[in-house]
Chain A
Amino acid sequence: MRIKNYFLNHLYAFFYSLGQMSRAPLSSVMTMVVIGITLALPAGLYAVLKNAQQLSAGWDDVAQISVFLKKDVDSQALAGLAKRLHDRPDIAKITTVPAAQALEEFRKLSGFDDALRALDENPLPSVLIIQPAVGYADPAAVEHLQASLRKLPEADFVQLDIQWVQRLHAVLEIAKRGVEILAVLLGLAVLLIVGNTIRLGVQSNRDEIAITKLIGATDGFVRRPFLYAGVWYGLLGGIIAWGLVSLALLLLDEPVRKVSALYDSAFALGMLDAWTILLLLCSGTLLGLLGSWLAVGKHLRAVEPD
């Protein structure tokens, strides 16, 4: 009976708070939209960031090490070296580019045909292009491989092609931290928006609250509809934010497709995933509840019958 009453009390507050909001629909909707925009900003940035991370995650696979060999390494030594290295477990594939072949390719591609012909000897070194094995693709293992390749007597210069990807990842990490800081700040803003709206609600219902208390309503009875109002603001604000971010991603989708087509990529913007949506709605709801809780505790106490 107690439990049933508890739920019925909450049900009453649930509908009562909806009724209160429908009495001033414009200001209620405006509050929700403001909350929606405030939540949409970090959510949208997060979505963009996640897409960027997904895009760059694909580039990790192209991690390869170019080993430029010393001039005196001839093609036979090159083949021997490749064969020797191929036995290593951390190397998946080795492509050899003998100096002559490199010169031929360069001649074809660069258009410096005549200039190259004028040279006495081939200025290009032989190159080994090494692809790390799948189990050894993490940055530490690749680093280790790179170090051991550098120690080869034949090696002149070893270059890790993945470095720029790592730098991009580092930059994305900074951006991610920035979005997190922004999310905390804007979450605080939602708290204040809801708190202020609830404070105004308490003030405009002063008489009603005082009368209700005079008839014997408990603090909980008076507080409950305001807490529900906070939950509504937060939840509907979260839904609006979801809509705004989805709309923005939809609008960006076509131009992004065009750009990625130009780069021969099939990359397309991903929509918000279920987990992010859940997080967005939950944090909106919790911020709404917390904001109204903080405001209502402070302001309801000040309204007493006289």
Chain B
Amino acid sequence: MSTPCSIFFFLLTTFENMIQFTNVTKRYPGGHQALSNVSFELKSGEMAFLTGHSGAGKSTLLKLITCIERPTAGQVMVNGKNLGKLGRRHVPAVRRQIGMIFQDHKLINERTVFDNVALPLVIAGLHNHQEIARRVRAALDKVGLLGKEKQYPVTLSSGEQQRVGIARAVVNKPALLLADEPTGNLDPDLAAEVMGLFGQFNQVGVTVLIVSHNIDLISRFRSRILHLENGGLV
């Protein structure tokens, strides 16, 4: 590791790939094998789609990237960090680099839209209220919800809640954006709009991985499609 050459290769493999799975197997307690021997990589700045039937292992794959689950075998690297060897204490730092969008939004219902979107900034240690407000408004503006910052999530439609989730995911300018069925509950126009948003984020350098069934919509992008079937990539 000490020669300049090996450092170069180390940096290359570290920063070239945002996500790298090497022979990853995930078996849940009880014996169910969700992923078997999965290998793929997602380059920095790349955008890709992940498809597959329900139960094919898509959710498990996302959980491995976000450290919710650990691999049974194989290696998961995210942004140069080996997640299999990561101690509990270091998990939050990894998650802060990832913007996550969930099918069920996962918004905090007791807090306003503004507070929900501001949460990643507060967690990251930003305390300047003006700066927080500026960035929250910018994120909300991007998803077209600027006027709704004082409302509570339950007063919004499902599509609006989804977009609040997107605003929260991007407010801290993460290097990696993960989306789990982000268009699942949206009508076609809105779905296209949301997908377009991801395209825009990708264009400014964000690595994007989207789980989606919407083949019609996916095919409009010239992005790689990873297809999972029975726990393996095909």
Contact = CB atoms under 8 A, between A and B. Distances in A.
Given A8-B127, A305-B68, A215 B119 contact: yes
Interface string B99-111: 0100000111010
A165 to B, nearest CB: 63
Nearest to B174: A216
Contacts of B108: 207-208, 211-212
Nearest to B106: A211
For chain B, which range describes its interface: under 10, 10 to 19, 20 to 34, or 35 or more residues? 20 to 34
B68 A212 contact: no
A12 interface: yes
A217 interface: yes
A5 B108 CA distance: 25
A8 B128 CA distance: 10
B123 A215 contact: yes
A2 to B, nearest CB: 10
A120 to B, nearest CB: 99
A5 B123 CA distance: 11
B186 to A, nearest CB: 21
Contacts of B1: none
A101 to B, nearest CB: 87
A143 interface: no
A216 B123 contact: yes
A215 to B, nearest CB: 5
Interface in A203-242: 207-208, 211-219, 221
A23 B92 CA distance: 28
Interface of B: 66, 68, 89, 92-98, 100, 106-108, 110, 119-120, 122-125, 127, 168
18 contacts: A11-B127, A12-B122, A23-B110, A207-B108, A208-B108, A208-B110, A211-B108, A214-B68, A215-B119, A215-B120, A216-B94, A216-B95, A216-B120, A216-B124, A217-B92, A218-B92, A219-B89, A304-B68
